[in-house]
Amino acid sequence: MQSVTSRDGTTIAFDRLGDGPPVVLVCGGSTDRTANAALAAELATDLTVHTGDYRIPAERAKAVAMPTIVIDGGASLGFMGPAADALAALIPDARRRTLGGQDHNVNPTVLGLVLKEFFTG
């Protein structure tokens, strides 16, 4: 674990794994970076993965200027698809994908394949 200090003085813990094009994983509101550990390990075979204890407020999402994909599981609770739609609408040029048959905790192998395709393909 490493850490950085944000402009407002908040210490943010993060992990960096792998070697390749960089990818930043943002975890959900009720979790920390360890929730993405299995996915990070899956992606680290081809990418440099950064996982951190941070969130992206809506106003900042509008300023994201890098390739972004917003993904949900098709078997997730009903509010998650619309929430993912709303986030994708905020981020300029974001792609949106629903993974059929997956619930909120998408299988890291399935998600890893989708993300590798998006970022390398």
User: Is this model's pTM higher than 0.85 or not?
Assistant: no
* pLDDT, tens digit, 9 for 90 and up, residues 70-120: 999 999 999 999 999 999 999 999 999 999 999 988 899 999 999 999 988
| Counts of helices then strands in the chain (DSSP H, E) | 4, 6
Alpha carbon distance 46, 80 (integer Å): 29
Q: Which band of pLDDT confidence, cut at 50, 70 and 90, is reported for residue 18?
A: very high
Continuous segment of H or E residues that includes residue 4: strand 2-5
C-alpha 69: how far from chain center: 8
Tokens of 105: 């905790």
Under 8 Å between Cβ of 55 and 80: no
> HEC profile for 9-29?
CCEEEEEEECCCCEEEEECCC
